[in-house]
Each structure stands twice: as C-alpha cells, then as structure tokens.
Chains A and B, each alone.
Chain A
Amino acid sequence: MERQDYERLRWRCIRRALLELDITLTRFLDDGFDQLTEEEQAVFVDLVALEDHDLWYLISGKTECTDDEAHFAPVVEKLRKCSVRLAN
C-alpha cells in the first residue's frame, strides 16, 4: 500500500467515534495489518468504512457477517484474534 493510502487508512482507524474501535484498530494496524494479503488489505479498507457500532458488533462477536458481508469474514476473524495489548 502506498504511504499516503496507508496514512489515510491509519487516520480512519485511530480516530473513531468509539474508544473500543480506536484501541482495536490501532492494535491491528501495529500487529496484524502487514500480514494481510493485498486483497485482504482492500477488504480491511472497506470494513473500516462501516458505521462504528456495526463494525464494533462484528469485531466483538455480537453480530456475524451477513450474506452480503461474507467477504469481510476472514478479516473480521483476524481482527477478533489480534493479540491483546494494553493501549494508549
């Protein structure tokens, strides 16, 4: 991913409406994003465009991907498994 695209994505991950997402997405950028394939990175970009509550419910397991969102599932799974680390 080009630097500019990555930095835009980073901003859209580290400045969310919900603290839960700030922490989870920041952690994932640091620990998981580099290991995604190019295709998965593109999915991640689409995923973070979701509304905050929808995205958080998916990541926290409160909801599952709908049929329309099936392509999100592998990346959501990686987000759920991303190592826990105290954030700030």
Chain B
Amino acid sequence: MSIPVLKFDAVIVGAGGAGLRSAIQLSEAGLKTAVLSKVFPTRSHTVAAQGGVAASLGNSEEDHWHWHMYDTVKGSDWLGDQDAIEFMVRKANECVVELEHYGMPFDRTDDGKIYQRPFGGHMSNFGEKPVRRSCAAADRTGHAMLHAMYQRNVKANTQFFVEWMALDLIRDSEGHVLGVTAMEMETGQVVIFHTRATIFATGGAGRIFYSSTNAFINTGDGLGMAARAGIPLEDMEFWQFHPTGVAGAGVLITEGVRGEGGILRNANKERFMERYAPNAKDLASRDVVSRAMTTEINEGRGCGVNKDYVLLDITHLDPNTIMKRLPGIREIGLQFAGVDCIKEPLPVVPTCHYQMGGIPTHYSGRVVTPQNGDYNTVVPGFYAAGECACASVHGANRLGTNSLLDLLVFGKSAGDSAVEDLKAGKAHRELPKNAAEQSLARIAALDSRKGGANVHETRLAMQRTMQNHAGVFRFGDLLKSGVEKILEVEKAARELEIKDKSMAWNTARTEALEMENLIEVAKATMLSAEARKESRGAHVRDDAPDTPEFPNGRNDAEWLKHTLFNPVDNSISYKPVNMQPLTVEPIALKTRSY
C-alpha cells in the first residue's frame, strides 16, 4: 500500500502549551513546521491550568531565582536534576516577559507590572517565608497562554493539522528519529510525516487512573509511541494526587471545603481523621488526608457498592455559608455526584492530577537514553517537552505553578535545540521501507480482530487496577498483585476489538489506539512503583514509613536515583540524579518538611 509522505523540517505532536511554544521557535527560524493535534489547539488540556506560572520577577516583593530553585528542589524531594532546575528557574523571567509580548493578558499591579500572587510552597530566602511569585491571567491563565501562543504561530506560518492523531515514531536502523505516522480522523487516512526533527508535546496520561482530574484527552500518546519505539520511560512511579475529587468523575473539590468545616466520614459515618490526625483532623496536610482516606477504603470502610470512596460532609454547615464561601461546590455535587451537598455528603476519593515522570530529556529538550554506559545518549532527531517529558525538574513531586513554567521553558528549549541541530544542515535521512508498517498493522489488527477485548471494559479494568493498587498511598502486597493484574490487562489491551470498521470519523478506532498508549503508561507506572522500595515525594509506601533513620521513609543511600522503565522487556534500571547545578552550589539533601 502506498502511504502519502509529507515532508517537513519539523513535526510537533501536541498543540498544548509546550507544543505551541516550541513551534514558535521553529517557525520563526524559517523552518517548515507541522503541528499535529487531536483537537483544536486552544482546546488542549493546558486550558485547565488556573494557578499561574512561577517566575521570580520580584514585582510584588523581593524574590530571586535561587530561592525558586530551592523550593523546586525541595518540592521534588531532591529527585529533580539540579542542572535542569537551575536552567528552568533562570529562564522563567525571560519566558514570562516573552509571553507578555505575545499578548498574554497577565493581571497587573496598579503601576502596570505583572501582578504576582502567593502560592503553596513558594518561599523567599530558602524556605523562610511565603513570597508572591505566581503570574496569572484571572482564572484563565492556561487558556490565555494558549491563545497568545496560537496567534503567534499563525503569524509565523506554522502549519496545523487539527484532528489528526499521531500513531507511531519512525526510527531508522541507527536509531535516528525520522518523523511520525499519523491518521487524519476525518478520512482515516494514514500519512507519514517525514522530518528532520520530531518534538513530542503530548501532555500527561492521567487517564490511567480511575479517578483523575485530567480531561479525557490525556491518554499519554507520546509516551505510548516512545515506548513502542524502545525508549525507556523515566520516574513513572511519581504522580501527584489531590485528596478530594468527586468519586467516579474526578472533578476537583477545593480544599477550601475542609477549611470551612467539611468532615470526612467512612461507611460507618465515623469522622475517621480523628484517628489519623487527632489535632489537625480534617485540616491535616494533603498527603496525610489522602493516606487516611486510602487506608479507610483498603480496610473495607469505604462507601458505596464497591466500597471505594469516602464521604465529605458539609451538611452541618449553614447553607448560606456554603453558597457564600464555597461557590460552585453545590453545582459540582449536583452535576457530577447527583448529590445536593446541603442535604447529603459528597462522595470523594484521592484523585490523580499530574504526571512527574515521562520521556527522559536533557534540559535542552533533546531525548536521551542509556547507551554503552552513558545514561544521557541523545536520540538524534527526537525532542520532548511539557508533561510528557521528564527533564527532570519535578522529581518526586511538582511545585505548584511549575507546570506552566515547564512547558514554556522546555517548549522553547526543545524548539531552540531543534533549530540549532537543523541549522547544522543535515538533509532528511532516507525513510526505511517499512516506515508505516507498525501503524498499518495495528490498525489492520483492530479492523479484523473478532472475539477481542472491549475497549471500554479494558480501560476500566486498567483504571481500577491503577487506582486500587498504585494510588496515592501504596502497599507492598498490593503493588505486587497490581503488577500481575496490569500485565493481564495488557494482554487484553493487545487484543482489542472494535465493531465500527468505517474509515471516516471512526472514534471507536481512535479510542482503541489511545488505549494502546494508556496501557504502556499504566504498566510503566505499576512496575516502577513496585520496584521503588522507599517513600519519596508523591510515592508513599506503607512499608517505608517515617523513622529516625529514614525521615518520611526516604532512603537516599539506596534510592536517590531515577527509575528507567524499559518497555521492550519490562526491565528496570536506574540512573543517577544530577545534584550539580549549572553555576551555584548544590542544594544539599535535607528532610522535606513544610
């Protein structure tokens, strides 16, 4: 079968913040640049980011990139690479100001500067006191950011392929990346994008969990493609969770609900936080609350038919207080739980929010893999940025508002690196004869298979396995059985069947292809989590508790290292954390406490 080939200098997969930012660099450098997106660019999940973007502009009070660096390293529980972190925080101001010049309508101070607001974990003078560092555009920071960058791309003649899904990475026998295969949804046609540079900016994969704040689009397509192309995935055991998402839906219930007097109860109506945190009770920190909720569920005191959630009760509060102090909560309860929280408690469960790991990259945005003893061998022609990549700046836990900063800094950096490499003048390398074979075989298998697994059921089995076995609080025995279970689900995911065989707008096929990506991420997460026998940042194990020898369960002697999950043979290796910043002294190891 003859497959159309479209030649570009660069293809960027994903049109969220990281993809749009890198595209600006390439297009403005005069390179022929294609951006592929499953949806219209301004409908990417970056839109959901409201908190702001961190930059030590010092507009509201004194601030310094070194303090921002300290907060980021501490937030990462020292798993973040300090060279990459220094690079990111030092680029922050430049990237934010650039964005302002692109037309981003930041909130302003009375004297016209970018207004900065406080955010959890942002401190001055190396953890001394809170500092105002977050730059925002009302409650639409991500949305405004995408609009500004999309318009800049239109001006720069970036070519958008909207409602296209990338399928597989194309590599030659020497491992060079030569582009991607992709499918136009409107026609079902598979096309080869033959390029000199390929940038992945596909976002996270939060949909591997049953309860996730992520939009349905976050199916880890870039990670799935990288895994199928033999690229290891880094630090996939680290996922940030929120304690209270609406059970079964994932929509966030603000922590302000507990602040206003909300009480968590189990199936026996017991206020269980009294047992876990006798003083702070329901106002204990996020991780303590999440762990208590998980323990209640695991020990059989969860609510509902499956005993898989707990209740957040505000029925004792004055309805006027609820309406006044917690606007929107009643609507969320009604819309997503079918519950009027004035009369009944809300079903809640710890909910996945952000993926810290991803495709391993250098801070230049170039993808790196271990080869012949060098952990950071560049994969020629391949770059990644944003949530799908692991630079690694977030380490074991991300500092608030560093996600938008990550996609600006590393989107730009990946774009700059691609420009630099392409200006070196290398021509398109010859496409292998079988460049589209893997993608065509996957589609043909979906179209012809009879008696295979149902996509929806397989996704649900994966999500429940991940939620129950590798959720916010982890147990050794559950992780072990989780590995077995997820490998079983993987078998089903390799044998999916779809009923609709039509070419044009076959959303069943697209969802099946997404499922094939999700399972790669789920497997990497479960196996990496089972292997890491300590607690660090967002990876908290019951069998690695807080002791004088290992505060917070963290064991630096054995586990201060990055996980690399090899999807080819499900093996795990490790690489050192880079503790050496670019210009300053390393931020020394310390117990992470707030």
Contact = CB atoms under 8 A, between A and B. Distances in A.
Interface of A: 3-4, 7-8, 10-12, 14-24, 26, 51-53, 60-62, 84-88
B185 interface: yes
A10 B216 CA distance: 13
B331 interface: yes
Q: 8 closest pairs, A vs B, by CB?
A: A86-B248, A17-B47, A7-B505, A84-B338, A22-B216, A15-B217, A17-B43, A19-B215
A62 B331 CA distance: 9
Interface in B485-523: 502, 504-507, 510
B505 A14 contact: no
B336 A23 contact: yes
A10 B507 contact: yes
B36 to A, nearest CB: 14
A21 to B, nearest CB: 8
Contact of A62 (B185, B250, B328, B460): B328
**Chain B binding surface, main DSSP class:** loop
Interface of B: 38-39, 42-48, 140, 143, 163, 185-186, 210, 212-217, 247-251, 328, 331, 334-338, 459-460, 463, 502, 504-507, 510
B510 to A, nearest CB: 7
A68 to B, nearest CB: 20
A51 to B, nearest CB: 7
A52 B47 contact: yes
Nearest to B304: A86
Contacts, number: 99
Contact of A16 (B43, B46, B504, B507): B43
B504 A19 contact: no
A24 to B, nearest CB: 7
Contacts of A12: 39
Nearest to B463: A88
Given A20-B335, A87-B249, 5 more contacts: A15-B217, A16-B217, A17-B43, A51-B42, A84-B336
**Chain A binding surface, main DSSP class:** helix
B337 A18 contact: no
A48 B331 CA distance: 20
Given A7-B506, A7-B507, A11-B510, A17 B251 contact: no
A74 to B, nearest CB: 19
A17 B140 contact: no
16 contacts: A7-B504, A8-B505, A12-B39, A14-B216, A15-B39, A16-B215, A17-B47, A18-B48, A19-B250, A23-B251, A24-B335, A51-B143, A52-B143, A60-B331, A84-B335, A86-B338
Contacts of B337: 84, 86
B143 A61 contact: no
Given A17-B48, A24-B335, A4 B43 contact: no
Contacts of B338: 84-86
Contacts of B46: 17
Given A16-B43, A86-B248, A11 B460 contact: no
Nearest to B456: A88
Nearest to B510: A11
Please indicate which of the listed interface residues A52, A61, A85 has the most CB atoms of chain B within 10 Å of its own CB: A52
A20 B246 CA distance: 11
Contact of B186 (A8, A17, A22, A26): A8
A26 B336 CA distance: 12
B335 A19 contact: no
B163 A11 contact: yes
